[in-house]
């Protein structure tokens, strides 16, 4: 009788603990969802080079010579050029708070471009320190209309590398908003696209003398920053800290994150996996680093952090790219959902992120081998062996049904029985 009572008590304790944990997780998700909904609605149509956040769970420090207006309210919108750092908070269930901030950067997109420029989401226990000096930022204003003096060619970039992308007829009108650093090229932003035309081919108007000159890697607001996030486990996956960056679908940007130049085209997330490691996952498009790594959608790299004379936490090197984990892909889905909610409120385009294809089954045919099957589905030989508990990898029988795990995740051609 005592033993039965004791067993029942243990069961009730375990059940109570499970119910409590489940309730906390549901509350966690509700708080995060409310914070992101507030951001998407209250920050709709956020102007370029501005910050919007959920007060009071975001701390903003002003750059020298600037000040933050008080009192702050929900959906307060601040000019990024006067900000030195932004910190969002970890989940606080008692106060039902979770920090989130949204940035809209003009970056290198022209005023004629319809839709958003660069969108950044900072959320959870995370902080960015702005390393772009306000005086380094080049202001690009409204374009000027001019006319082609003769037939000309539009190029992808200025300079000696030929990359023609279109033609310009004599007497054709176009809009320009900047020179290159030499003054020999003008940036054509007609219709929102960006091309370059030889300045001598266009009518030189007096008002064009005030156009800015753009150098390679010209700084824009918040182009360079240091990122840090908490490394502890949150109450639910939705409350994990992260930074997500989304570029327009047809435009890429160069940014400096913890001292490393990264070329980003589409959507990536960052998270500090360890106090000495920063992970970057590409969820759509592609990214490349100054160290030479190219990271495709569905892949992640890990940056090794260390203290240098320039900053407390700088990326010293990157690992090779590997298939992103399920947790990393889920993080991208959550970030994209937040971006899309804000886009819907703003009337901007919405996007989908990469998702790993579902497992599938394959019926072995005569002459098939594990190597050829893995190659066919771009997956790992070892993964097929493990998923199907194959004891004799060199003997496959026609008609056998095999589970193909993670098709498209990457072919592993080298394999041995001892691997």
- CATH of residue 187's domain is 2.30.30.40
Phi, psi (rounded to 5 degrees) for 130: -70, 120
Decide if 214 is inside a domain: no
Region class of 96: left (phi > 0), else alpha (psi between -120 and 50), else beta: left
Are 301 and 223 part of one and the same domain? yes
In-domain check, residue 416: no
**Do both 30 and 131 map to the same domain?**
yes
- Identify which of 213, 179, 177 has the alpha carbon closest to the alpha carbon of residue 192: 177
Q: What is the DSSP letter of 380?
A: B
In this structure, the answer to whether residues 25 and 69 fall within a common structural domain is: yes
pLDDT digits (tens, 9 = 90+) for 372-398: 888 888 788 888 888 888 888 888 889
Model pLDDT for residues 182-238, shown as the tens digit of each residue: 999 999 999 988 999 999 999 999 999 999 998 877 789 999 999 999 988 888 999
User: Mean of the pLDDT values across residues 117-143?
Assistant: 91
Q: Calculate what percentage of the chain has a pLDDT beyond 70.
A: 89
Q: Which of 310, 308, 309, 287 is nearest to 298 (CA)?
A: 287
Residue 198 lies in a domain: yes
Q: Is the pLDDT of residue 239 over 60?
A: yes
Q: Smallest Cα–Cα separation from 281: which of 318, 251, 232, 236?
A: 318
Q: What does the pLDDT read at residue 1?
A: 53
pLDDT at residue number 135: 81
Residue 19 lies in a domain: yes
For residues 53 and 152, membership in a common domain is answered with: no
Q: Residue 389: what pLDDT?
A: 87
pLDDT of 71 strictly over 70: no
Cis peptide before 71 (omega within 30 of 0): yes
Structural domains counted in the chain: 3
Q: Identify whether 304 is part of a domain.
A: yes
Position 419 scores a pLDDT of: 42
Where does the pLDDT of residue 404 fall: very low under 50, low under 70, confident under 90, or very high at 90 and above? confident
Specify the pLDDT at position 417: 45
Q: 415: pLDDT confidence band, cut at 50, 70 and 90?
A: very low
Q: Which of 112, 223, 106 is nearest to 177 (CA)?
A: 112
> Is residue 12 over pLDDT 80?
no
User: In whole numbers, what is the pLDDT of the chain averaged over residues?
Assistant: 87
Shared domain for 173 and 285, answered yes or no, is no
> Cα–chain-centroid distance for residue 361?
33
Could you tell me the CA-to-CA distances from 151 to 148, 157, 167, 205 in Å, in that order?
Answer: 7, 18, 8, 18
418 falls within a domain:
no
Of 154, 178, 208, which residue constitutes the final position of a domain?
208
* Whether residue 339 sits in one domain with residue 245: yes
* Token pair recorded at residue 410: 């990457």
Residues forming a β-bridge with 360: 404
pLDDT for res 175? 96
Alpha helices, DSSP H, located in 217-369: 326-346
What's the pLDDT tens digit per position in 288-309?
998 888 999 999 999 999 999 8
The answer to the question of residue 10 being in a domain is: yes
Say if residue 49 is in the same domain as residue 173: no
Residue 316 has pLDDT above 80, yes or no: yes
Asked if 340 and 237 sit in the same domain, the reply is yes
- 3 pLDDT higher than 60: no
Domain that holds residue 257: 2-136+219-346
384 with 341, same domain?
Answer: no
What average pLDDT does this structure show over 17-33?
A: 80
């Amino acid at each position: 009788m005592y033993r039965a009572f004791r067993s029942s008590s243990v069961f009730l304790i375990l059940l109570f603990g499970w119910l409590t944990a489940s309730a906390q997780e549901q509350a966690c998700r509700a708080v995060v969802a409310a914070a992101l909904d507030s951001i998407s609605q209250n920050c709709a149509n956020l102007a370029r080079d501005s910050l919007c956040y959920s007060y009071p769970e975001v701390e903003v420090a002003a750059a020298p010579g600037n000040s933050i207006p008080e009192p702050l309210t929900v959906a307060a919108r601040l000019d990024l050029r006067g900000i030195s750092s932004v910190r969002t908070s970890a989940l606080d269930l008692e106060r039902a708070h979770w920090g989130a901030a949204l940035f809209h950067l003009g970056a290198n997109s022209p005023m004629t471009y319809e839709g958003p420029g660069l969108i950044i989401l900072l959320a959870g226990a995370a902080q960015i320190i702005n390393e772009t000096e306000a005086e380094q930022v080049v202001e690009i204003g409204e374009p000027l209309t001019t006319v082609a003096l003769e037939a000309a060619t539009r190029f992808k970039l200025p300079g000696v590398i030929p990359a023609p992308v279109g033609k310009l007829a004599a007497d054709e009108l176009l809009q320009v908003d900047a020179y290159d650093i030499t003054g020999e090229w003008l940036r054509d932003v007609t219709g929102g696209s960006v091309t370059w035309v030889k300045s001598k081919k266009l009518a030189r108007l007096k008002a064009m003398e005030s156009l800015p000159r753009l150098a390679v890697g010209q700084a824009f607001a918040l182009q360079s920053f240091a990122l840090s996030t908490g490394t502890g486990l949150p109450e639910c996956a939705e409350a994990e800290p992260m930074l997500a960056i989304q570029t327009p679908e047809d435009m890429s940007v160069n940014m400096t994150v913890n001292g490393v130049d990264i070329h980003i085209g589409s959507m990536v997330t960052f998270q500090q996996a360890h106090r000495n490691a920063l992970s970057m996952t590409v969820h759509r498009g592609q990214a490349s680093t100054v160290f030479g790594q190219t990271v495709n959608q569905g892949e992640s790299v890990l940056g090794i952090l260390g203290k240098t004379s320039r900053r407390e936490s700088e990326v010293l090197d990157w690992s090779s790219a590997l298939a992103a984990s399920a947790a990393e892909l889920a993080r991208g889905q959550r970030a994209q959902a937040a971006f899309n909610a804000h886009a819907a409120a703003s009337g901007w385009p919405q996007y989908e992120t990469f998702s790993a294809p579902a497992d599938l089954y394959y019926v072995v045919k005569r002459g098939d081998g594990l190597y050829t099957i893995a190659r066919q589905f771009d997956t790992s030989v070892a993964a097929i062996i493990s998923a199907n508990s194959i004891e004799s990898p060199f003997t496959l029988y026609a008609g056998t049904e095999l589970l193909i795990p993670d098709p498209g995740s990457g072919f592993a051609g080298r394999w041995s029985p001892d691997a």
